[in-house]
Structure 1
Amino acid sequence: MKNLFKKIGALLVAAVMVLSMCTAVFADGNANVVIKLKDFENAQKVEYMQIIQKDESTTSGWAFMNGAGKCFTDALKLADSSDAQQKVIWGLIQFQNDTVVLPNGVTAATVTAADIDLALSKVAGLPGFTELTDKTKTKIEVNKAGIYAIKAEEEGYTYKTATAYVGFGEPYPALASTEVAAKKSSTSVDKTTADEDHVVAIGDIVTYTIEAHVPFIDAANTENRTFTITDKITGADYYLTGTDSVSSVKMEGTNDQVGSIVVDPKDATKFTVNLNRLVASKDNPNAGKKITVTYTAKVNALTVENKAGSHVANIEYGANNVPVKVFTGEITLTKYGDNKENNVLASAEFEVYKDNATTPLKFKQQENGNYRYAPDAKDATTTVITNGEGKIVVEGLDVGSYHFKETKAPTGYSINTDGKTIELTQTGVATAIIKNSDKLNDTKLNSLPATGGMGTYLFTIIGVVVMAGAAGAFFISRRKGSEE
């Protein structure tokens, strides 16, 4: 009896050892491993779902799950079946490694990157995704081998549905951690101006830069693959040809022009850059690449405002962008007399010179009486005149030093030959028209004798005395001559 128990005990031990070995062979890895996430940390939401699992009953050893198989067969235009899904999996294996030799009797579907993107766009719409609870958005912990689909949402970005393959490491059947990087494209449209302080003068040529990114367009979208960049400007004219003009549309990775700026023939304050060809392929080969649009505009008003945006598959982006604004400067000079600031003087005439230039600036008077800088106007004048309040307001100026040279004083006053120099300065970025003001005094002319007045008699008396003295001297000299 003891020998029988010994034999049964030995059999049990052997069975446990066999089961342990089988468990090692068929285990799916019950210890958690990590899918490391890169560039997902700013996403508001990250979700994941396993779409391929290990299945040793299939020819590939893998099988689709959670409805993902039909997404792939539909993308490849195959009738959905277990056999078709196996062909897709073998196609995915060969897509990843084209040196893989298929087993006898096995065929693989031909799979392209566009097919995978199309299938994953369909997968993204399936139920069953789990929201990641890791607030750092840096890892997903899983305990089964296979492929996981990962999708994310972030304001201002579109994410391409990513996949992560969790395979077996050493010793088998331990699972190996893996890493997946987010492929996302910014939907923001950023616009800047080369004028750092945002202060300009009328007639200045200002350079603007728009930055956007080629979007990821769902591979399932075959009817509306469009991408345009738009711009709207007020207070300036687009200046795309001519001296110092710029009109450039570049994509990172190439020095070639990838598009052109086309001003709306019905509204000269708008332009469009058509970049449809960059998103025409379902492979999305350009997705995420930065587009830089650089152009020039000529200032024609006191304030310039413009805003850029983009349209992707008929969806507008950048509508809430803050417009880029640039501003001009304004100077007010008040003329007064007799050192009395309340004694303002009208009709004083001046010329205005900037930064010690020898040529005066040209202006056009506006309906409100202000003089607006007009460097290109043929009917502009270099003379500015004080109004009934003794003021001259000149506008449309850039930062700098402006000297007011008086060329004609009001009646009864003398020209102040010193003139007045007034500075326009700006610290930081301007948020409004910059202004400065100052005053200039004139003095009255010295009084001159009036015709027929007392001064006339004085001059007459002096003249008679001088003449009498001269006559006396003449007669004395004659007399002395005759005596000799």
Structure 2
Amino acid sequence: MSLFTRNVQRFCLFLVVVLPLVGLNWTVAKADEARQLVIRGSERTAGVVYKLWYISDGRYPISRDRMAELNESLIDLSIQELDNRYNTAIQTPPSNEVGEVVVSLKEGAYYIREVSERNWKYAPLVINFPFDNRSAENVVTVKKWPDNGSVLLTKWGFDDKNESNPRLLDEVEFQLYRVGDLKPLRFNHQGQLSTDINDNTTLTTDDNGQIYVQNLPSGDYYFKEVKAHLGYILLNDNISVKVNGTNIVKVIAKNYKKTPPPPPSYPKRPPLPSTGETKLIIGGLGVILIVLALYGTYRSKKK
């Protein structure tokens, strides 16, 4: 076999063995690239942090109706409750100066929520990942949570039902419920609706007798008073509130002073009973008076 023939055989062997390996490496690289998810904020805000929970539960991809259903059911859960429900979660680094962050994910369905500490947030959403197995890059754009409604409650106190001597009451505690829910809503220190389990469910009137809560989606709510101002009667009736759009709903709550207890009454002392001893005393006094009168008459005649 000539040297030329042997070289041709070696070259063909190279093509048969090496080229498939190159193609396999290229395919793996494409697959790895396809597992990169880009989260892009519509407001191009830097420093935004997201958390993604793997929610596939054996079903992937999930339908659009199922996505909407999951998003609605998960929106009220706290971060801690989501962590307890789903074992796999990933927190992203802060977004860059153009509002983007890249995260590597395995195939499946995910729930994405912003976990940054800000006055406004991007709306959470459920996605299938990857969107398209043929795509090298998957980009999801998160949009600013729509502006929701606010409620301003003012607490007045009165001396009586005639509403005399009005005053604003501080240190009155309420809880706010969404109609149909068994648990009160949570709010952060800025009065923003929160899903963080560390935030408080109790709202307290300030020095102006007011409570101001924000970021309430449209719907029906009610305030429940849980602690009254000192000296006032606890309000037993819930205060209904209807939030619609971005308006500030103003409500007034009233308390009345407790009625002071009546002064203690003591029983009257019964009169002394009429007995024979009393008659004897009166008779004795009469005899004494008669004797004194006779003695006076006797002395007068003697003189």
> What is the TM-score of this pair, normalised by structure 2?
0.46
Report which structure shows greater RCO (CA 8 Å, sep ≥6).
2
User: In proportion to residue count, which structure has more helix?
Assistant: 2
Bigger strand share: 1
Q: Tell me the TM-score normalised to structure 1 length.
A: 0.31
